[in-house]
Amino acid sequence: MDKESGLTLFLVLLLCHKGNTLSQTSCPYKCQCFTPVQVLCADERMISLPTNISKQVKDFIVMTSGLAYLFPNTLEESPQLTKLVFLNNALRSIHSQAFKHLTELQELEISGNPTLDKFFPETFSNQRNLMKLVLNFNRFREILPGMFDSLKQLQTLQMKGNFLLELPKFLFLNLHNLKFLDLSQNKLEDVRRETFSGLARLEILKMNNNLIDNITSDTFKNISQLTELHLEGNMISELSEGTFSTLSNLKVLNLRGNLLRAFTLSVLILSSNQLSTLPEDIFRNLTVLETVDLSENQLTFLPETIFKGLSSVEVIHLHMNNLSKVEPKLFEDQIFIQQLYLSDNQLKTIPFGLLDTFDIQPTLRLHGNPWSCDCHMWYLHDWVLRNTLDIEMVERMLCESPGYLRRRTVISIEKDQLLCQVFQDEMPGLNSCSLQTSSDTIVIKCKVDKCSPLAVMVEFQEVDGNINEHILKKDISQCSNETMTNNSNQ
């Protein structure tokens, strides 16, 4: 018994225990009635279904019984059922007319029967209101064409843990409302575009843990609304160009545990999701990737090696995230990049040399960030002035701080305006400074350590713009001699 079935059994038995407090006067022999509309029969000695089921019953569950066969008349007295579950029984055969009278069924499960290996045609032909069909952990080796044709309201179909070798073409053609399809843990080797014909509303597809070794470029073209695709645990060694190109809504793609050596994927679009973090090896096998679009997410940080080895990348979109910093070597391998968007983030500055690795200057977007226009911006300021023509909407690249430069464009500021306020704990050897005025004299007093290397520079800017600099630096040659003397004495 798998974990899911075991959990179901536990929950049902728990309900069974609670149901013992209810009246059992009209309940079938060897069964439990939780409410007037719910009946559970769980007895290994039961080999046939009870005949005295109330017409009020809507949910009928049979589990862990010795029931081996369902005949045409087995359930004909209970046409009112909306939910029917056979879980972990000994079913060997189900007649094609066994569910003929159950036209109101909305949920049907037949799971955990190790000797049940096939369905006959027309088994579900009268279940036109069925919304959920679960056929897990039986022994089906094949599903006949047309088996599900009448189930036009079906939203969930599970056939997990069987022995299916292949699926007929157009098997799901009439399942226009299906949203969840689970084909995991079978023996499937091949799936084609025709396999998924008709599944225009499918959102979740699970084909993990099969023997699939080939996925073509058009396999998923009929199921463009997918949000989750599980292919882990197969034998896929190669993916064709454009394999996932039609899956614009895809949020989960799991390829773990295959035989992939490299992706032939050139465009990866993960924009407009809710990504806040990414593992550093997420693009490890995507060596021919040319476009990476991570825009409109909630990314706050990117590992420095996340793009390592992606030397073919030409476009990186990171705009409209929450990035507050980027690592110095983030784009070290993207020497051929042509377009880099970092706009609309939370960047205040960028590290020295970040934009110097490219062979040609890429088209850049940097606006919409709260740039701090102080001494830490010297590198970026110089780069922007040199490459103004390569920056889109450069006039929207504004300073957020300091206050006296707020809302000024970066390109309108002179480098000597990019100043940093000095704090005592940032300057070793500096204790305190004071500014004093006396008539026409300004006095700057700084208490420094005896051997501090600090220098004081005073700039006088004249009316014509000329600047005269005066630098005062303490002679600390004796300090080095003292240090050498002290070291020799030790």
Domain boundaries, the chain: 262-421, 426-489
Q: Tell me the two tokens of residue 371.
A: 């740039």
Q: Are strands 59-63 and 83-87 parallel, antiparallel or unpaired?
A: parallel
Q: Which fold has domain 262-421?
A: 3.80.10
Q: Which residues pair with 33 in a beta bridge?
A: 39
Instruction: Note whether 142 and 165 are within 8 A (CB).
Output: yes
pTM across the whole model: 0.61
Contacts of 300 (CB under 8 A, 6+ apart): 276, 277, 321, 322, 323, 324
What are 377-382's contacts with CB under 8 Å, separation 24+? 377/349, 377/410, 377/418, 378/415, 378/418, 379/350, 379/351, 379/352, 379/353, 380/349, 380/350, 380/410, 381/410, 381/413, 381/415, 381/418, 382/415
pLDDT tens series, the chain, 490 aa: 554 555 454 445 444 444 443 444 579 988 999 899 999 999 999 999 998 899 999 999 999 999 999 999 999 999 999 999 999 999 999 999 999 999 999 999 999 999 999 999 899 999 999 999 999 999 999 999 999 999 999 999 999 999 999 999 999 999 999 999 999 999 999 898 999 999 999 999 999 999 999 888 889 999 999 999 999 999 988 877 778 878 878 878 888 888 876 666 677 777 877 788 888 888 877 777 889 999 999 999 999 999 999 999 999 999 999 999 999 999 999 999 999 999 999 999 999 999 998 888 899 999 999 999 998 899 999 999 999 999 999 999 999 999 999 999 999 999 888 888 665 555 555 556 666 655 566 677 777 777 766 677 777 777 676 777 777 777 766 665 554 444 444 4
Amino acid at 19: G
Question: What's the CA gap between 78 and 274, in Å, rounded?
Answer: 48
